[in-house]
Amino acid sequence: MKVTVVGAGNVGATCADVLATREIANEIVLVDIKEGFAEGKALDIWQKAPIIGYDSRTVGVTGDYARTADSDVVVITSGLPRKPGMSRDDLISTNAGIVKTVTEQVVKYSPNAIIIVVSNPLDVMTYQAHLTSGLPREKVFGMAGILDTARYRAFLAEALNVSPKDIQAVLMGGHGDTMVPLPRYTTVGGIPVTELIGKEELDAIVQRTAVGGGELVKLMGTSAWYAPGAAAAQMVEAIVRDQRRVFPVCIELQGEYGINGVYLGAPVILGRNGIEKVIELQLNDEEKALLETSRGHVKEVMDALDNMSKASA
């Protein structure tokens, strides 16, 4: 199996490192536009192999997509972080251009690859990659739900003083402030979380999860990379090993939850063919209202991208 990770920055390099350490693919190719950057990261990961004990080979290239040919899965992490003074539209325009160019190269050399988008703003970058690739939605989707859910589970484990392994949860909607928490579907060792923690404390954890990325930016001055990189690698593993894991991922909804043509996080079965099935939960009125708010927010950003594309046409 061959996996390509586009973007050798913190998130991409972490993803490649987890893939190699867990021996998820025979070959992992790192690609970056900065001369020697991907080569150095890949070499560093490969030199760790004798220490940790793994066989996966990591290779780095500068802009040479021919080296990525026939990849089974491609993870796109390329893009710029939002900088001081940069508007949302500036970020969308810049990163959409990067994701478009990368996706064109990916499809050219690996037309059968499954594409996982990690670039931000996540929901609209998944939209861009899907448009550009022309592939079915089952083969182009975004990583956000696993990351948001992991943060939620980590905070709950801390509050309850239990192992995060025993916490299962589902979050839906857009990545960020309008994510939709589903405490009804959150359990600790099979026990509903609402039996173990009060509503006020649970609400505070949900809110902390919604702004989880911002909390890390304030602490470090830059965005997260360990958890996002590992989350993308977990998605790759589910595909490569045909695990049929149930994960929340960003996908174009086509009638599910009464929503059409908007890219939102929803629970799916992830396996060898990409998204094997979209799971449609029976949401209550409050959850439906939150999902509609999230839908409206993501649609606004999608419309902003559409308007930019028309203006530049």
Binding-site annotation: residue ranges for substrate: 82, 88, 120, 151
**How many Å apart are CA 191 and CA 195, to the nearest integer?**
7
For 115, the enclosing helix (H) or strand (E) is strand 114-117
Interhelix angle 145-160/226-240, nearest 10 degrees: 120
**How many Å apart are CA 264 and CA 176, to the nearest integer?**
11
- Side chain identity at 283, as an amino acid letter? L
Judged by DSSP in three states, 5 sits in strand
| Residue tagged active-site, from 2, 41, 139, 175 | 175
Q: Can the peptide bond before residue 84 be classed as cis, meaning omega within 30 degrees of 0? A: no
Q: Which residues are annotated as a binding site for NAD(+)?
A: 7-12, 32, 95, 118-120
Per DSSP, the residues of 251-298 read EEEESGGG-EEEEEEEEEEEETTEEEEE------HHHHHHHHHHHHHH
Asked if 38 and 64 count as a contact pair (C-beta separation under 8 A), the reply is no
C-alpha distance from residue 180 to each of 65, 234, 289 (Å): 37, 22, 9
**How many Å apart are CA 144 and CA 149, to the nearest integer?**
8
**How many Å apart are CA 25 and CA 19, to the nearest integer?**
7
Token pair listed for 255: 């009638």
- Clarify whether 175 is annotated catalytic: yes
Strand order in the sheet with 73-76: 57-62, 27-32, 2-6, 73-76, 114-117, 140-142, 245-254, 260-271, 274-278
| Residues labelled as active-site residues | 175
